[in-house]
Amino acid sequence: MSEQEIFQPFGVDFDLAAGAMEEPDVHIVRKASSMRGHYQDSSALEELIRSGDDPLHYEVFEKNIPEQYGHLRIAVSKLQPGTVAGECFMTKGHYHEVEATAEIYLCLRGEGLMVMKTASGQCELQRMAPGRLVYVPPYWAHRSVNCGTEALISLCIYPGEAGHNYGDIEKQGFPKRVYKQNGEVRILPS
Ligand code: PAN
Ligand code: ZN
């Protein structure tokens, strides 16, 4: 490999207390309207989109790192608190396109759950809380769910070549849903 092809080292500053990546290169915004098909109660989501003027749902902040084998992608995921007919706000969730790739989520702020499933029907949940790291092994689709009252913010690191496969989740969802009623978190079916 010539000297020109070698990717240059760099540093990224984080405000760990705020859960913020300084100077991200990419800022992805997902509003409530991009969550159609994901919540149990689709009319409640439509009502939120209408009455709340399509509010912000979650954001992803990333550094520009090649989507290639050998690299590690760095992202911060920031998911707003709230519910849709009692179902906690969540990310779309995805398998990695290269299914045999893992990911780590280090939670910086908030409280939530990582809901994970395999194509063969296993489903596991892991608690997310500041300072807790969740390991998402290869082959597990993953979705984060905000069960708290402030934004759920995590630092995510995953292989450069991983990619995202949303199609399967849009069709099948996850076997378990997370609700919050009168301040109590409920996972259904239990
Ligand atoms: C994360 C996710 C991020 C947003 O960076 O992309 O939390 O979730 P969705 O991609 O499901 O909308 C990650 O898991 N990357 O692989
Ligand atoms: Zn992922």
pLDDT tens sequence across 78-99: 999 999 999 999 999 999 999 9
| CB 158 near ligand 1, within 6 Å | yes
Cα separation values, 89 from 7, 36, 39, 58, 145, Å: 37, 12, 9, 9, 6
Ligand nearest to the CA of 29: 1
The ligand that comes nearest to the alpha carbon of residue 160 is 1
d(CA 135, CA 137): 6
What's the pLDDT tens digit per position in 6-20? 999 999 999 999 999
For the record, the structure tokens of 73 come out as 């992608």
Among 55, 8, 11, which residue's Cα sits nearest to residue 30?
55
What pLDDT does residue 5 have? 81
From the CA of 144, give the closest atom in ligand 1: 7
Look at ligand 1, atom 2, and give the residue with the nearest C-alpha: 77
pTM: 0.96
- Closest atom, ligand 1, to C-alpha of 58: 4
Instruction: Give me the pLDDT at residue 172, please.
Output: 93
Structural fold of domain 14-181: Jelly Rolls (2.60.120)
